[in-house]
A and B are shown apart, each in its own frame.
Chain A
Amino acid sequence: MTVLDPLEALTRAHRQEWARVVAALTRRFGDLDLAEEATAEAFATAVERWPADGVPPRPGGWLTTTAHHKAIDRIRRESKREDKHKEAQVRYDDPTGSGVPLGAIDDERLRLIFTCAHPALAMEARVALTLRMVGGLTAAEIGRAFLVREDAMTRRITRAKVKIRQARIPYRVPDADDLPARVSGVLAVLYLVFNEGYLATGPGTDPVRAELTAEAIRLARLIRELLPRDGEVAGLLALMLLTEARRPARVSATGELVALDEQDRDSWDATLVAEGHRLVRERLATGAAPGRYQILAAINAVHTSARTMEETDWSQVVALYDQLARIDRSPIVALNRAIAIAELDGPEVALAAVEGLEEPLAGYHSFHATRADLLRRLGRTQDARAAYDAAIELAGNTAEKAALVRRRDRLRNPQ
């Protein structure tokens, strides 16, 4: 075996082992807080020891054992928890107790995910807790990602852990009856993380934040490994991959968001596209009725199959939006369907559909941007300008704002 570079080994161990170690310790000690702190200490010890002593042959095992010792040290220090001390002592002294079989650990990680994304926690707490406990991000990193100060993020995570402990949110995989709803809660957390990375909302951040999209994809892959037969898990992973594949073409050199019709399709990531298409085909082959993420993935598969905007199979896209609208009556689905209708039946038909959405979507920048584009295509310059103004006013993403400003200003100075 080649000698691993300790820093590289640490980075890899952090990615691969963090959630396993936190999950195994939570199971052992029944305390998320203790598990998290002991795991963080074990990694800190590895940072000191691995460069000096060399990388252990089984980094995961080393980290789990070290974290175990750290947890027991902690319990001893806080000896008020006498009962836990005894329990831990028994398990620690049991020679067969320290090596948890691998298959069981996978289940442990799944327990951890379901606990962190529990519906009794606020969405923002679920996101923070999942990124901390499962993703291994620090409170500072999560705070940066969501424009929250580190101390506020630490408090948010602490509050969530207190609720889990006090209200006794169970550490287990939900029953079969509850599983679909609970999986969908987990996926909602990941989709939110992904979208925040893909279209960052803050004025002071990069328009696209690859660290968040990458983390969401990594966690979706993990959940797919753990629940390989769940269609929506596969659907969300495919959707993320096919969206992420277009990232290189999404922001121009001048920092503007590039719309689909103007993207350089050669710069799309072909490997991600191929993987996304594979997943979509796999789901189609099952013949099972697709859920929301699977339909969205299929729509993205149609887009990423076309060499140009014109070659896109728009009737297929509209048919998929019709299917989506049957299970999701959100006006945003109707808006996206109208965008596809514009390519299939022309901007006039699409505009009529869009106008009907004003009431629910008047505060949503995409409604005004879509309307503006359609008005521009219909030659109604004056109306288009007013709609672009409304969209620019409401848009939060810096690159999107820049693209809208350019479109509006192009109206003023026709070539």
Chain B
Amino acid sequence: MQYLVSVINDSTDRASADEMTAINAFNDRLQADGHWVFAGGLGAPASATVVDNRGAEAIFSDGPFLESKEYLVGFWILEAPDLDVVLKLAEAGSKACNRKLEVRPFL
């Protein structure tokens, strides 16, 4: 079972050196315990482009599909047998990166 663990923040400030150390330690643990699938940080919402090719021709629009005060700044994809396990991991992850996380299952 895989879960998307999104990192939510109200600014796109990069992680501080201390936060980066904690995130690296957390990532090492995820890999050692077999939970790691993928992870990455994202550029600012202003760098996004929305593409809609449902109609006759593709439309490209500048910016994110949703304007909001808080946005996705990064994510993990984790392997875990159930929600309790991934929630425990997310507790530690939120502490490590010092940001709010959203846990959502893949179907």
- Closest CB-CB distance, B85 to chain A, in whole Å? 8
Alpha-carbon distance between A95 and B107 when the two chains are bound, in angstroms: 35
A169 touches B107 (CB 8 A): no
Alpha-carbon distance between A146 and B82 when the two chains are bound, in angstroms: 31
* 8 smallest beta-carbon distances between A and B, as pairs: A170-B82, A167-B105, A168-B82, A167-B83, A169-B83, A166-B105, A170-B84, A168-B83
Is there a chain B Cβ closer than 8 Å to A120's Cβ?
yes
Question: Which residues of chain B have C-beta atoms less than 8 A from A167's C-beta?
Answer: 83, 103-105
A-B contact pairs, 5 of them (CB 8 A): A120-B83, A167-B105, A168-B1, A169-B82, A170-B83
- Closest CB-CB distance, A173 to chain B, in whole Å? 11
Is there a chain A Cβ closer than 8 Å to B87's Cβ?
yes
Knowing A167-B105, A168-B105, the reply to whether A174 touches B84 (Cβ < 8 A) is yes
Say which size band chain A's interface belongs to: under 10
A120 touches B87 (CB 8 A): yes
Contact count A vs B, C-beta below 8 Å = 23
Question: Which residues of chain A have C-beta atoms less than 8 A from B1's C-beta?
Answer: 168
Alpha-carbon distance between A365 and B91 when the two chains are bound, in angstroms: 37
Question: Which residues of chain A have C-beta atoms less than 8 A from B104's C-beta?
Answer: 167
- Which of chain A's residues has its CB closest to B107's CB? A166
- Which of chain A's residues has its CB closest to B106's CB? A166
Per-residue contact bits, chain A 384-412, to B (CB 8 Å; 1 contact, 0 not): 00000000000000000000000000000
- Which of chain B's residues has its CB closest to A166's CB? B105
Alpha-carbon distance between A174 and B6 when the two chains are bound, in angstroms: 25
Alpha-carbon distance between A120 and B105 when the two chains are bound, in angstroms: 13
- Closest CB-CB distance, B59 to chain A, in whole Å? 32
User: From residue 91 to 107 of chain B, which have CB atoms closer than 8 A to chain A?
Assistant: 103-105, 107
- Closest CB-CB distance, B81 to chain A, in whole Å? 8
Alpha-carbon distance between A120 and B90 when the two chains are bound, in angstroms: 13
Question: Which residues of chain A have C-beta atoms less than 8 A from B87's C-beta?
Answer: 120
- Closest CB-CB distance, A268 to chain B, in whole Å? 43
Alpha-carbon distance between A341 and B103 when the two chains are bound, in angstroms: 47
Question: Which residues of chain A have C-beta atoms less than 8 A from B84's C-beta?
Answer: 169-170, 174, 178
User: From residue 56 to 107 of chain B, which have CB atoms closer than 8 A to chain A?
Assistant: 81-84, 87, 103-105, 107
Question: Which residues of chain A have C-beta atoms less than 8 A from B81's C-beta?
Answer: 168, 170
Per-residue contact bits, chain A 143-175, to B (CB 8 Å; 1 contact, 0 not): 000000000000000000000001111100010
Alpha-carbon distance between A167 and B3 when the two chains are bound, in angstroms: 8
- Closest CB-CB distance, A405 to chain B, in whole Å? 45
Alpha-carbon distance between A361 and B38 when the two chains are bound, in angstroms: 48
- Which of chain A's residues has its CB closest to B85's CB? A170
Most chain B CB within a 10 A radius of its CB, from A120, A168, A170:
A168
